[in-house]
Structure 1
Amino acid sequence: MDGTQEPPRDPYLMSRGMKIPKHPQLTTGRVRGAIKADEYERKECDAVMRVVRPTDIVLELGGGIGYMSTLLAAIKKVQRVVSYEANPALIPYIRSVHAANDVTNVDLRNALLMPQAGPKVPFYIRRNFLASSMDGGVDSAEITATEQIEQHGIGAVLETEQPSVLVCDIEGAEATLLPAGDWSKLRCAIIELHPQWIGPEGVRAVFDAMHAGGLTYFAKASEGKVVCFRRDW
């Protein structure tokens, strides 16, 4: 040994000007590569960079790992983000991403946004917490804890928060949730569709909900299953 010490490893991945804390489950393999190459959630990010403004209040449905809310708050510097994420196992990591980027204007809510408010429902945490879900019958031997998650009604949230932008990636629930909302006060919406789960009727329901709110498909910020709607082009 020559007495020298290895330099400390950088605890962050850098992506789109953001610090993304390394995590043994969340930032490995293809996800790690996508983050480093600025390809993580690229289509949604490109749409956000194109249409979101600093004056916007953003409602994010599906907080994920906190990447999008950090992009909105730290890079686009929006007025405020209200972010819904149902998986309680992700909440500490999301907060660590926000802290690494000095984000203080995200209201992170560990809750489900539903057509109507309802009683708390169980959410099952598994050893691989990426596999955590509301389904307790799958891989039940892997469940390590059960959390009770609040159900918020979409009408009350829209009335209280008055968002100007919607960013939505909720794994197929868009077909039932979005038609229940009044989107007439939105300036624009960015939605990842999941046609493999919701089918053509579900896709039509999403488009109809946006059209009912006075929004029109905006091709320039749409790509594949990520669709953008704007009130004015």
Structure 2
Amino acid sequence: MILHGINLPITPDDVSPIIWEALVSGKYEAKEAIQVRRMLRAGDRVLELGAGIGVITTVMATAADVEIWSFDANPHTIALAKRVAAANSVGNVSFGHGLITAGPPAEYTFYIRRDFWMSSMIKEQGPYEGEIPLLSRNIEEFIAEHAINVLVMDIEGAERSLLGAAVLDGIDRVFLELHDHLYGLSGIRDIFTAMAARGFAYDPRNSSGPCVLFTRDDGTMREFCADEI
């Protein structure tokens, strides 16, 4: 199967029926695939939290002169992500099974669900098939160690607490999916407030619905974009 320009060696046995339908129809992460391609620049060093099955990871890896470190708390999906990357001869991605959070390392419980995009650290989110303990790593230390300048994440609601506590020194763009069904509009407000306090602005040129880009803003006027007509 070819999806968003990449080879996808995934079978119906690998994912739930609802995810398989999204893959076959081409709807799976379609907006994100367009937006991350436009958002990346040569030389970017990307930290991705929530690799899923590696579709967006591999799409990003096709950009020129980009290095990516991608993590997921679900061991099944990180194995699939590695398979997808290998099928596309991707050599500029380092995958890791784990959890990266703001603050000192701590132990968390991750709840695995059949529809992997519903897996999360929120027990109350719904029925789950299993749970695993994970010891987190500190995001600031990882950013500094690897000179990360772009943060990409789809982490099922955990973005609210992470962005509320993270400093994000060295980061100039943050692309994420919002999950208002988990924290309501008050959670959206918290995220926008936290990002503004750190010098980031909502970037309308590469945002669509819940998929949002925040860019560091110094008040400089931007060139006119014909897409705005």
Q: Distance in 2 between matches of 1:194 and 1:213?
A: 21
| 8 Å CA contact retained: 1:14, 1:35 | no
Q: Distance in 2 between matches of 1:39 and 1:132?
A: 20
Root-mean-square deviation over aligned CA pairs: 2.7
| 8 Å CA contact retained: 2:152, 2:174 | yes
Q: Distance in 2 between matches of 1:183 and 1:96?
A: 30
| 8 Å CA contact retained: 1:72, 1:78 | no
1:167-195, Cα deviation, whole Å (9 max, x unpaired): 11111111101122123422222111111
Deviation at 1:212, TM superposition (A): 2.6
> Which of the numbers 82, 91, 99 marks the counterpart of 1:112?
99
Deviation at 1:203, TM superposition (A): 1.1
The 5-angstrom pairing of residues 156-171 of structure 1 reads 156-171=141-156
| Amino acid corresponding to residue 208 of structure 1 in structure 2 | T
The alignment's TM-score, normalised by the length of structure 1, stands at 0.79
Match of 2:225 in 1: none
Q: Which deviates the most, 80-89 or 38-47?
A: 38-47
Deviation at 1:17, TM superposition (A): 2.0
Deviation at 1:216, TM superposition (A): 1.2
Which of the two has higher C-alpha Rg?
Answer: 1
The total of aligned residue pairs comes to 216
1:68 aligns with 2:60: no
> Which of the numbers 182, 186, 193 marks the counterpart of 2:171?
186
| 8 Å CA contact retained: 2:119, 2:156 | no
**Structure 2: 5+ residue stretches without partners:** 223-229
Match of 2:31 in 1: 43
Match of 1:89 in 2: 76
Deviation at 1:133, TM superposition (A): 5.7
Q: 1:135 to 1:212 in 2, by over 3 A?
A: closer
The 5-angstrom pairing of residues 143-222 of structure 1 reads 143=130, 147-222=132-207
Q: Percent identity?
A: 34
Deviation at 1:136, TM superposition (A): 7.9
Q: Distance in 2 between matches of 1:124 and 1:105?
A: 29
SS in 2 for 1:104: coil
The alignment's TM-score, normalised by the length of structure 2, stands at 0.81
